[in-house]
Chains A and B, each alone.
Chain A
């Protein structure tokens, strides 16, 4: 509210949030003798990727302090999972990072499998890689489209969502659901892929490299795009390491850190791909890294389809996965297993495990602590967005407020993943 006694110039906001939001005007002088202005950025701002709220101190238009306020999308997923049986928890993992459900499924499934000492068959592993890479592509496409729109490149979104829709069609074909697929489950995958899925995938792989060229035509040498991103939001390599940044954030700072290479899971060591890095350390570098990653994902997908092994897509363990439908009519034992699984579920041996996978945003990990019962004692998601968002202030300092939009954009946070 404006303080009329001081000529209406001083802006004072009461500290009602109790979050230690100190909005002091007196004593803080800007470079031109004016006072620092504190503004509220979000949570309903279209460029905040959901409901991110920032409290920003401005000196003129220069950012002097950024304080993210999060929690607007907290849905208590970790609490909810403690009340669900092991196989039911998969649907919750879909929903925290809602742009990459299969990768979250994979982290959870790998963690449960490691606790149980189960190894999934090779065909299931390859299908998991295919779904992970499709998800990475669709996640990067959403990022590219929305970041483009935030910086004034309206048409990129149309191109990106065109391709994203074909990925959604493939999700629907393989799992029956366009977004929250729950396709990857402890013990394998939901079902084998249909021939139509492979037709769609083959067409997609033929066309996608050309489409990536299209996006690059629109942006890479675009003078406005370059002016808005080059030199903006610098994150030095040593800082990126210290703040725990991962994914394109750390690779855009020139460090070739990719969990698919350094700690391979699900058979990633068998695929031939490059880790995309760029030494620019700025928003433009992170853009180039993501574009390069999309090309590498297409390469991995082509290899995975080429050498997709035959065989089952689930572990052959009746204590963990239900028997096939036709067995229920002939085998009493199958009926008993079916009944046990859908009333009590299975138990996981006591212990704890942490599994990290590389999502489109960075290291998305799943920590599980089991007490030996049919429900988890604690499930914790280590989300890349939550950690990357902490680096925001270091990147945004002394930039213009309009550049803050570019920096939030290229940090690629998903608020569902931050707040869980």
Chain B
């Protein structure tokens, strides 16, 4: 059973139960929940709350861990809020194997660093990509489209390129 002092906040959103835990103690909380029967990590992701005025947010990045108990058929969403540059949190890849690629994706898209991950590299974007595309301050259409008329290589004559 998860200790009460780990939970800083809890509630129900559109029928989904959720709890918030302090980011430094996330691993401890998830390990306790795994003991409690939530043995499957359905997905792990992040929400960027930059300039989100819908309510007060404790930090910019909200990490989400959707856990499932396949015996008792219940889901639980665990939230943890992190800030900083880069934002950091402990990896849970050894507790939940599916977290391995999810953490790489979250690193790739949001730049959240998962401490203890065996191979924290980009997974969807090219390895030499600059920036983290799903952050809210990363513009849509910000990069030139290759092989299009606007692309700079078209503006340079082949002799000078």
- Distance of A390 Cα from B105 Cα, bound (Å): 13
Cβ–Cβ < 8 Å partners of B58 in chain A: none
A39 to chain B minimum Cβ distance, whole angstroms, is: 20
With A241-B70, A390-B98 already in contact, the answer to whether A377 and B41 are too (CB < 8 A) is no
- Count A-B pairs with CB separation below 8 Å: 106
Q: Are A351 and B13 in contact (CB under 8 A)?
A: yes
CA of A257 to CA of B70 in the docked complex: distance in angstroms? 9
What band does the interface of chain A fall in when counting residues whose beta carbon is under 8 Å from B? 35 or more
A344-380 interface with B by 8 A CB criterion: 350-354, 356, 363, 365, 367, 369-372, 377-378, 380
Distance A363 CA – B96 CA, assembled complex (angstroms): 17
Contacts of A262 in B (CB 8 A): 73
CA distance A243 to B100 in the complex (A): 10
Main secondary structure of the interface of A (DSSP, over half): mixed
Q: Are A71 and B15 in contact (CB under 8 A)?
A: no
* Residue interface mask B39-61, A partner, CB < 8 A = 1: 11111010111001111000000
CB distance from B23 to the nearest CB of A (A): 18
Establish whether residues A367 and B66, one from each chain, have CB atoms under 8 Å apart when the complex forms: yes
Q: A390 and B101: CB pair below 8 A?
A: yes
Q: How many residues of B contact A (CB 8 A)?
A: 43
Instruction: Tell whether A284 is near chain B: CB-to-CB under 8 Å.
Output: no
Contact A352 B16 (CB under 8 A): yes
Q: For the complex, is B97 an interface residue (Cβ under 8 Å from A)?
A: yes
Q: A172: CB under 8 A from chain B?
A: no
Given contacts A244-B98, A353-B13, A378-B48, contact A365 B42 (CB under 8 A): yes
B90 within 8 A of A: no
Cα A377 to Cα B70 in complex, Å, equals: 29
Sampled A-B contacts (30; CB under 8 Å)? A19-B121, A71-B122, A76-B133, A78-B109, A79-B133, A79-B140, A115-B14, A241-B40, A243-B97, A244-B40, A244-B41, A262-B73, A350-B54, A351-B13, A352-B14, A352-B16, A353-B13, A353-B14, A354-B66, A356-B42, A365-B43, A367-B45, A367-B64, A371-B52, A377-B49, A382-B42, A386-B101, A387-B98, A390-B97, A390-B101
Question: Which residues of B are at the interface with A, using a C-beta cutoff of 8 A?
Answer: 13-16, 39-43, 45, 47-49, 52-55, 64, 66, 70, 73, 75, 77, 96-98, 100-101, 109, 119, 121-128, 133-134, 136, 138, 140
